A and B are shown apart, each in its own frame.
Chain A
Amino acid sequence: MKTQRNLLKLFMIPVLMFGFGYLMVPIYDVFCDLTGINGKTGSITVAEASQQKKVEERLIKVEFVSSVNELGPWEFKPDQFSMMVHPGQAYHATYTAKNLLDKDAISQSVPSVAPSKAAEHFNKTECFCFTEQAFKANEERTMPLTFIIDPDVPDDVDTVTLSYTLFTKSIKS
């Protein structure tokens, strides 16, 4: 009897550890979100953004970068290459993407912010990266984003680079 109880306990270890392997996925996400590692940016509501105080005396340069994953059939460019912004104020920027295929396609853009210590202070109230973007064949479209840099952003940050990678989610045949 004792042996069987021991065995049951022993077999539970691999089962639990298999589950733990999967549990590492949400743990990893939460950890990166909390610490801003991995360039994960925050998102806040418009109401929250309007409560932040504009810091007049500080100017931060925001650079916009784009890339297309695995040479997908896309043209993808920021419409402005950089902006000077005050922390605590919301700004509007746009990217333009074009589907180069003669077929409908769905894209997903994934953001990343460098340096990583600025990432958790870089918040977006609106972004084309929040949802999948459907494109008709050969359609070209300007996609908006509204961001606000938190007034708590570390003092030594004077340039923030925002990069988007555009992925092909699916292509309709």
Chain B
Amino acid sequence: MNAHVADTHEHHGPEKGLMRWITTTNHKDIGSLYLWFSLIMFLIGGVMALIIRAELFQPGLQFVDPQFFNSMTTMHALIMIFGALMPAFVGLANWMIPMMIGAPDMALPRMNNWSFWILPFAGTLLVATLFVEGGAPASGWTMYPPLVLQTGAAFPMLIFSVHLLGFSSIMGSINIIATIMNLRAPGMTYMKMPLFVWTWFITAYLLIATMPVLAGAVTMLLTDKYFATSFFDAAGGGDPVMFQHIFWFFGHPEVYILILPAFGIVSQIIPTFARKPLFGYSSMVYATASIAFLSFIVWAHHMFTVGMPVAAELFFMMATMLIAVPTGVKVFNWVSTMWRGSMTFETPMLFAIGFVMMFTIGGFSGLMMAMTPIDFQYHDTYFIVAHFHYVLVPGAIFSVMAAVYYWLPKWTGNMYDESLGKFHFWISTIFVNILFFPQHFVGLAGMPRRIPDYSVQFTDFNMISTVGAFGFGLSQLLFVYIIIKTVRGGEKATDQVWEGAEGLEWTLSSPPEYHTFTVQPDVK
């Protein structure tokens, strides 16, 4: 007994019970909290997507009324973006960045606790809007006025929830930047940092620069509705189109916030399983930085049809197409990393290769829409829905799954079930394509988004899409099962886990001690 007490005192292990999680300042605990939160929100958002697809199985109105349908599209987007994807990436950053740069913990552990524990409140506030008078917000996640101002009692809840989510991600980002700037191990120069650390470093800057702009925009909505200001009210000299400019000034960097960490993850995984160092490391860093810079000057490509002067449309078209250059550099670097490598295809590698292929499909449809005259046809159709779901689902979400499979043995000390993992990859990939590929066709044929009904000629493709949606949704239950099974036990993982894995995190034991790198390693 005495020995045990002395032992825990020495290693300062975790507290027991619920309070461990509420008061924790440990980056590993907080990383896990973020990831579990993200998984729960992913499932809630997924159920909403299935309600949407069930309604769209046939033309006409079957299951839900149009107002609720629009609530579902709005809430699905908000929950998936702010509740599932962003917390997932922050969770991965919390777990991995200190271990990758040889730091004992995050730079500001108490603020880390805060930035997580704001999230459940923000998430609850958002989900609770489903139960208030007037229903959940139904104006689309972009919250365009004047429509969003017609939201009922849910309106202030939506705004404050966005504020809280913003606070959480700003604090999380400042913590990440401070950690990377100040806590790198001796010898770990900037240009030696793993690419996941680099992409997060840049993403964190994007977050602290744009989340406050979103906070400002929604605050203006709030004062327009309740305090008689007229920022977006034409009667008072304001302009609703201005909201779109402010919103997308945040919104476009936001889409890179959702994809840059994914680039980082894939850049960790592909070299491991190709057993070659990453091709063009420094070009990857510069490409990431260029994408981040360009993301600030392309926002109006989301609103080509709003009525802009030709000069502005040309500028935003050219700037948007320019993004294809650094993105292309990345894709070619990943392919070149695999070229003549000794590749093996474990689950994380499958997800990473799937990411490269399917993200590129989404990237190409993005290039199509970058062309102003062509965008007039695609605007607000299912083509854009197909485009951003290709970059976000088999893009960003696949990268998160790849990361979970890649690092789960390190986190838990147990190997996941490889054949189940591979099966999960294949059914996810097949169903996600059945789900989203037909949406390109109905979009080109003119089916508008955010409408619960459609013309009968779109029926076949919509039915296929719905079948894919339910298949993809159910496949994710397998993902949950695999994670829980691995957390509870399984074949023990070695410290290096993967034969080709390199980096500081693989020098630690699997699972790592509660506190790691209390003495910083020397990086040569």
Q: Name A residues whose Cβ lies closer than 8 Å to a Cβ of B.
A: 2-3, 6-7, 10-11, 13-15, 17-22, 24-25, 28, 32, 35, 37-38, 69, 108, 110, 116, 165, 167-169
**A7 and B174 within 8 A (CB):** yes
CB-defined contacts of B181 to chain A, threshold 8 Å: 6
Residue ID in chain A nearest B234 by CB atoms: A110
Interface flag for B314 (CB, 8 Å): no
Counting chain A CB atoms within 10 Å of each CB, which of B178, B211, B216 scores highest?
Answer: B216
Contact (A14, B208) CB under 8 Å given A3-B178, A6-B181: yes
Interface set, chain B 350-366, CB cutoff 8 A to A: none
Residue ID in chain B nearest A110 by CB atoms: B234
- Docked Cα-Cα span, A108 to B213, in Å, equals 30
Interface flag for B17 (CB, 8 Å): no
- Docked Cα-Cα span, A164 to B245, in Å, equals 24
**B209 and A13 within 8 A (CB):** yes
Residue ID in chain A nearest B177 by CB atoms: A10
Expressed in whole angstroms, the minimum distance between the Cβ of B310 and any Cβ of chain A is 10
Residue ID in chain B nearest A40 by CB atoms: B239
Expressed in whole angstroms, the minimum distance between the Cβ of B216 and any Cβ of chain A is 3
CB-defined contacts of A3 to chain B, threshold 8 Å: 107, 178, 182
Interface mask (B168-192 → A, CB under 8 Å = 1, otherwise 0): 0010001001100110000000000
Contact (A21, B235) CB under 8 Å given A6-B178, A6-B182: no
Interface mask (B204-226 → A, CB under 8 Å = 1, otherwise 0): 01001111111111001000000
Query: Which of B215, B235, B245, B249 interacts with A18 by CB under 8 Å?
Result: B215
**B182 and A21 within 8 A (CB):** no
CB-defined contacts of A21 to chain B, threshold 8 Å: 212-217, 246, 249
Query: Which of A18, A37, A165 interacts with B308 by CB under 8 Å?
Result: A37
Interface set, chain B 281-318, CB cutoff 8 A to A: 307-309
CB-defined contacts of A7 to chain B, threshold 8 Å: 108, 174, 178
- Docked Cα-Cα span, A158 to B249, in Å, equals 37
CB-defined contacts of A10 to chain B, threshold 8 Å: 174, 177-178, 208
CB-defined contacts of A19 to chain B, threshold 8 Å: 216
Expressed in whole angstroms, the minimum distance between the Cβ of B168 and any Cβ of chain A is 12
Q: Can you list 9 contacts pairing A with B, beta carbon distance less than 8 Å? A: A6-B181, A10-B174, A11-B174, A18-B212, A20-B216, A21-B213, A24-B245, A25-B220, A38-B307
Expressed in whole angstroms, the minimum distance between the Cβ of B300 and any Cβ of chain A is 12
Interface flag for B231 (CB, 8 Å): yes
CB-defined contacts of A35 to chain B, threshold 8 Å: 309
- Docked Cα-Cα span, A19 to B220, in Å, equals 12
Residue ID in chain B nearest A18 by CB atoms: B212
Interface flag for B427 (CB, 8 Å): no
Using C-beta atoms within 8 Å of the partner chain, give the interface range for chain B.
20 to 34
Expressed in whole angstroms, the minimum distance between the Cβ of B402 and any Cβ of chain A is 30
Interface flag for B325 (CB, 8 Å): no
**B236 and A108 within 8 A (CB):** yes
- Docked Cα-Cα span, A13 to B309, in Å, equals 32
- Docked Cα-Cα span, A37 to B310, in Å, equals 11
**A17 and B213 within 8 A (CB):** yes
Interface flag for B241 (CB, 8 Å): yes
Query: Which of B178, B215, B245 interacts with A28 by CB under 8 Å?
Result: B245
Residue ID in chain B nearest A116 by CB atoms: B309
- Docked Cα-Cα span, A145 to B501, in Å, equals 76
Interface set, chain B 225-249, CB cutoff 8 A to A: 231, 234-237, 239, 241-242, 245-246, 249
Expressed in whole angstroms, the minimum distance between the Cβ of B205 and any Cβ of chain A is 8
- Docked Cα-Cα span, A7 to B175, in Å, equals 9
**A28 and B239 within 8 A (CB):** yes
- Docked Cα-Cα span, A169 to B235, in Å, equals 7
**A15 and B212 within 8 A (CB):** yes
Query: Which of A15, A17, A20, A108 interacts with B235 by CB under 8 Å?
Result: A108
Expressed in whole angstroms, the minimum distance between the Cβ of B503 and any Cβ of chain A is 25
Query: Which of A14, A28, A38, A108 interacts with B170 by CB under 8 Å?
Result: A14
CB-defined contacts of A116 to chain B, threshold 8 Å: 307, 309
**B231 and A25 within 8 A (CB):** yes
Expressed in whole angstroms, the minimum distance between the Cβ of B181 and any Cβ of chain A is 6
- Docked Cα-Cα span, A169 to B212, in Å, equals 31
Residue ID in chain B nearest A37 by CB atoms: B309
Contact (A24, B235) CB under 8 Å given A6-B181, A15-B212: no
Given A37-B308, A38-B241, A169-B236, 14 more contacts at CB 8 Å? A6-B178, A10-B177, A11-B174, A13-B209, A17-B209, A17-B212, A20-B212, A21-B213, A24-B249, A28-B239, A37-B309, A38-B307, A69-B235, A108-B235
